[in-house]
Amino acid sequence: MIQGHDIICFCNDWAGDPLSKKQIVTRLAKHNRILWVNSTGNRNPTASSHDFQRAWKKLKEFGHGCRQVAENIHVFSPLVIPFHGSRAARAFNQRFYAACLRRACRKLHFRDPIVLTFVPSSADVIESLDAKLVIYYCVDEYSQFSGTNKEAILSMERKLMERSGLVIVSADRLLESKREYNANTFLITHGVDVEHFRKACLANTEIPADCPRSDTPVIGFFGLIEDWVDLRLIRELAVARPTWSFVLIGEVRADAPPFADLLNVHLLGRRTYGSLPGYCKAFDVAILPFTWNELTLAANPLKLREYLAAGLPVVATPLPEVRRLGKLVNLASTPAEYLEALDGLLASGRRGPRLADSLRMDAESWDCKVEQLSQHIEESLAGEVTQQTLAMVST
């Protein structure tokens, strides 16, 4: 593990769910100081109440300044104009945002920081930071998200990759597309908080009261319910198996889900990260019904490893990074294939969390993944020192 560094991390919002960024950064914070920079967003804002509330929240957080949220972790919420296709907006962000960020670094006495960014829109600001190493950690094909300015995101991302000393990606498809712009691009697949999700296998873990309980099968899903989740497939499954319960946990951001007339589909909404093992304990089988598009083909779904760490049997759409896990996952593309896989698991008696299956995920822990990242960082820093020494000698 790297130690003793000041690290500026451009991430999603600290208050959000512990996605890959938080899993990585909290481990780095054990031996390094972190300035976590809340998300500046990739999508253009709309006139929706959700975006208005988010903008108001961002404004209030900016007013609070830089604040400590955990040992060795401070959070800074920038004030930006999130129209990345606008030259005027990007120019404002580059000056104002960068000035505020440099001020926060001075208050924390950050010197020669490492910049670890998960956000393409950070490209303009990073140029103004005196970083000894810039790392772009790419976990999605950001230009493919709905509502983004594709050309602007691609332009900023390419600029960021060319500026970076190291690029890390989470999927093979991303490795193929990003290595073109930076030869120092390496694959680190997502990890999982094994000990947390393994609680689903423990006798003393309680099933939450709002989770349906019955003698009939419970088919579960958790995660953000966006346009990449195939809700029509779930509907067909629920119609075909009316005695089964389909439990969907997560904030719904997709169009109105087509379940209003189905009594066996339960939309429970967003639940805390800490409660997820309890819900997993109630599931007989977990599903990952993703659509096929450029976004999902480059995705490495966190929830897949979380299902497996909970010891659950899983039926999933055969995306490239799903196939990587081989026989640990049952693959299905159509409603008929999903039903066949689910019926087969239930008929065989393979249902619910099993500790023996959870143990297979030990090698996929976030601790292992952060050690891989640290090794790449150490090698990159050593390479920078060597290059500087050679340059001094040649002059």
Q: What is the pLDDT of residues 334-379, one digit of tens each?
A: 999 999 999 999 999 999 999 999 999 999 999 999 999 999 999 9
**Do the Cβ atoms of 295 and 301 come closer than 8 Å?**
no
Indicate whether 199 and 320 sit together in one domain. Answer: yes
Phi then psi dihedrals of residue 39, to 5 deg? -60, 140
pLDDT tens profile 12-57: 889 887 889 999 999 999 999 999 999 765 555 555 555 555 554 5
Q: Reply yes or no on whether the pLDDT at 239 is more than 50.
A: yes
For the chain, what percentages of helix, strand and coil (3-state, to nearest 5) are there?
Answer: 45, 15, 40
Distance separating alpha carbons of residues 164 and 131, to the nearest angstrom: 10
On whether residue 12 sits in a domain, the answer given is: yes
Residue 145 lies in a domain: yes
Both 199 and 338 in one domain: the answer is yes
Q: Tell me, yes or no, whether 200 and 265 share the same domain.
A: yes
Domain that holds residue 96: 6-191+365-394
Assess whether 211 and 355 both reside in one domain.
yes
Number of domains in the chain: 2
Q: Are residues 242 and 378 in the same domain?
A: no
**CATH code, domain with 91:** 3.40.50.2000
Which pLDDT tens digit goes with each residue over 150-198? 898 999 999 999 999 999 999 999 999 999 999 999 999 999 999 999 9
Query: Is residue 255 domain-shared with residue 272, that is, in the same domain?
Result: yes
pLDDT band for 394, please (50, 70, 90 cuts): very low
The pLDDT score that the predictor gives to residue 246 is: 97
Asked whether residue 171 falls in the same domain as residue 198, the answer is no
| Residue 305 sits in the same domain as residue 198 | yes
Angle 231-240/335-347 helices, nearest 10 degrees? 50
Using pLDDT thresholds of 50, 70 and 90, give the confidence band for residue 383: confident
Residue 1 lies in a domain: no
- Predicted TM-score (pTM) above 0.85: yes
Inside any domain, residue 52: yes
**186 and 246, same structural domain?**
no
- Residue 279 placed within a domain: yes
The verdict on 376 and 347 lying in the same domain is no
Confirm whether 388 is domain-assigned: yes
Q: Does residue 257 share a domain with residue 371?
A: no
Strand order in the sheet with 330-331: 265-269, 245-249, 218-222, 285-288, 314-316, 330-331
Residue 50 included in any domain = yes
**Are 313 and 226 found together in one domain?**
yes
Would 283 be classed as within a structural domain?
yes
